[in-house]
Structure 1
Amino acid sequence: MSEISKPQTPPSGAAADWTIPQEWSRYTVQEHALWDQLFERQASMLRGRVTPAFLQGLDVLRLSKPGIPDFEELSERLRKLTGWSVVAVPGLVPDDVFFEHMANRRFVAGNFIRKPDQIDYLEEPDVFHDVFGHVPLLANPVFADYMQAYGEGGLRSLKFGSLDKLARLYWYTVEFGLIREAGDLHLYGAGIVSSYGESHFALDDPSPNRLGFDLQRVMRTQYRIDDYQQTYFVIDSFKDLLQQTLDTDFAPLYAELETLPDLDTETILPTDRVLHRGTQAYARQKAS
């Protein structure tokens, strides 16, 4: 999910649910080579830094196979593990469409790949971000359940006019989440694991805050869409993340959030569980 503007009607050639054929045979040799370059750079760097569940997903889904994955083959393997599939879309889709697919265990992925001069940053998610970043954890049964629960919650959030609050939960977990395992911090958010620079920044740089996950706190917190995050939230396990989501009655939570002020991206509250108090040096240098 993102605040990037999304069209509200399917473009020409897309079905009513916004899906399109992947047209795997149309990828060029150069596009497959770019995927391989991105894959090798990220996969080699992530070992020891990403949650083991992500690496297990890469392995069981055979994503290390050269070239951009064929969504039909990938979905066949994924369905056997957790019932999820990957469907191609032409780009960003409306929120209700996004949630409907997730609630039915369909992950939407762009079918285009970035250009060589966009290797380090791309505003709109491409097939590398969507498939390499998101799909490996969909092979994990607990995280797969969380993603479906989020989709179902997203559909309900539209009735309360609270999409902006729920979007923050997606941003700080699915896209930019950290997890503490055996005393160490690991990456799991797709926005981090698909970014070479942020994979280092999120774990190693002294600049960002690293705070213990709290559902209400996360849903009050603004985020950056144009640069590295100033705060990362750390979950204790995928099971705990799923349980908090399932155990929460979001209707009164949304009502309470309407009475509370939003929090800036660098804010630390007295009630926060602070794992690392960031210097915010990176953000301040960029601002100046």
Structure 2
Amino acid sequence: MQPTDAIKLVRAWIAAARRIVVLTGAGISTDSGIPDFRGPQGVWTVNPAAEQQSTLQHYLADPQVRQAAWRSRLAHPAWQARPNRGHLALVELETRGKLHALITQNIDELHRLAGHAGERIIEVHGTMRRAMCWGCGQRTPMANVLDRVRAGEADPACRACGGILKSDTISFGQALVPAVIDRAMVAAAQADLLLAVGSTLQVYPVAGVVPVARQAGAHIVIINNQPTPMDPVADALLRGPIGEVLPAVCAAHAA
């Protein structure tokens, strides 16, 4: 199937769909200046040691890892990032009344900034815009903690209990929130069309939404620059820059 034919087919599925579920990964945010993790220029590809900062065991045990993590948070490109054409194309689906749920592996909150209703978004890996205490569980805006780092605290502790602070995201070795994953799977089972966008589809259990939607009878569309393990079950594969492909298939005039 030629790319233009695949785009026309997906447009037709979108026009007919009543409950579109979208799964997004890091690839949708790269056009906003946020590097992915496992791609050719990904954070962990370029600097494998950075993965320790996202591993709970290392983070809790080693103050030097935490200090490096706080320096990285200060310089993270997400603070200056803005939603790109890919994010805005998905808002178009919601405006048209097509979007049932938006499941995201991303922690940058660019979907919220793009204008999605909060109740549509399922953030399976949390958000970098909050900090949480590993000891007492208190949440606080990340910006407040970063101000303390800028003021000279290399490894700021919780002001309520003195515990270790971390980003309110799911680290390697940290349990996912069962209620959030359950919500994602229920949404996938209700889909008549699932768009998997910018995800390697290698991280479980969230990658499991694809076979769940497939079993429920949904069309599966994978939009990604690189092959994924789920490609064999897709009804359509769209390769190319997400910021170009998503607007081409999601715009209202395409219906």
Q: Specify if TM > 0.5.
A: no
- The structure with the greater share of residues assigned to helix is 1
Q: Which has the higher strand share?
A: 2
Q: For CA contacts below 8 A with separation 6 or more, give which structure has more relative contact order.
A: 2
TM-score when normalising by structure 2: 0.28
TM norm structure 1: 0.26
